[in-house]
Structure 1
Amino acid sequence: MPEIDGINSQLLTLLQEDGRMTNARLAERIGMSETPCWRRLKRLEESGIIEGYQANLNRRKLGLGVMAFVQLRCSEHDQAATAEFQRIVETTPNILACHNTTGADDFLLIVVAKDLDDYSVFVDSTLRRLPGVTSIRSNLSLKEMKASSKLPISSVSGS
């Protein structure tokens, strides 16, 4: 696992700002030559610290106006039910995230839909059919005040 030193911290921060930044530009911004910069980048990718690259899309401009935070409680926790639950969650594009949580509920999902009618259909056709689900509670986002996938690199940096 590569150490998150000052240079790797800068690399990660710059890539979180612009994942399309070329190696030449990264090296220039960090003040190093291209080959060592490329090697560091490859080590970060190979270690799994950098999992991939993607474009950040505006869900509202794509017509996905509803974001729901869904708490699920399940009665079944055996291996087969859990595997089926996970398979469905992983293959359902409207579910952006799913976390197994502590507390009264078992899972917290982040779900997007076109509108309330679309969300209602999603609840009936997908969430109510998940194995072992005994309770579904939805909280709809009224206003998104912050949305980011950028991690606080300075908090984990060795420098």
Structure 2
Amino acid sequence: MLDAFERLILKTLQRNGRASTQELSEAVGLSTSPCWRRVKRLEEDGYITRYAAILDRKKLGLHALAHVQVSLADHTEDSINKFQIFVQSNEQVLECSSITGDFDFILKVAATDPETLEKFIMRDLLRLGIVRTTTTNFILRQMKVAGVLPVDI
């Protein structure tokens, strides 16, 4: 179980992953040594899995963002493994979730433009030979992109 200090540490680090131990200790109300030990324990216990910079996709020229729903042709272990390897190794795939309903997976895919997204689907995804069907929905506008998990629930 996490105590109140650890929850505050997690909340603070989600907002500013570059916070120094001093800044973190001031934000949560602990001295630096206990604060540092708690951060290390949170890392070791897997609560904190990595630190990353959040980039502006549009400044990087990634103007097309879409959800691609995918149904596999079959559900053999080989097909699922092939799909998982593809998803893990393809940088255009930002997220992948196994879902209920008419499709097996939903991907969040970034591309420079609609034509590049089409190439991703036609050249990369469908050529795997394991995909039965896809449906693509372009994201017109993102209203909330948090990336921050609720720690108090």
Query: Would you say same fold, with TM above 0.5?
Result: yes
Q: Which runs of 5+ in 2 are unaligned?
A: none
* Corresponding pairs, count: 153
Partners of 2:36 and 2:109 in 1: CA distance? 37
Q: 1:76 touches 1:131 (CA, 8 Å); kept in 2?
A: no
After superposition, where does 1:7-156 map in structure 2 within 5 Å?
7-155=5-153
**Residues 77-127 of structure 1: per-residue CA shift (max 9 Å, x gap):** 111111111111100000001111111100000000000111111111111
- Structure 1 residues 106-150: Cα deviation after superposition (integer angstroms, max 9, x where no partner): 000000000011111111111112342111100001111111210
Secondary structure in 1 matching 2:101 = coil
Q: For residue 50 of structure 1, what is the amino acid of its counterpart?
A: I
SS in 1 for 2:107: strand
- The DSSP-based 3-state class of the residue aligned with 2:152 is helix
2-structure distance, mates of 1:27, 1:10:
10
Amino acid in structure 1 at the alignment position of 2:13: L
- The CA deviation at 1:61 is 0.9
Work out the CA distance in 2 between the residues paired with 1:89 and 1:98: 7
Give the AA of the match of 1:54.
A
Q: 1 or 2 for the larger relative contact order (CA 8 Å, sep ≥6)?
A: 1
> 1:74 Cα deviation (Å)?
1.0
What is the rounded CA distance, in whole Å, between the counterparts of 2:85 and 2:129 in structure 1? 11
TM-score calculated relative to the size of structure 2: 0.97
8 A Cα contact 1:84 1:131, kept in partner: no
Structure 1 residue ranges without an equivalent (≥5): none
Query: What is the CA RMSD across the aligned residues, in angstroms?
Result: 0.9
* CA apart distance, 1:23: 0.7
CA distance in 2, matches of 1:119, 1:42: 40
Residue identity over aligned pairs, in percent, reads 38
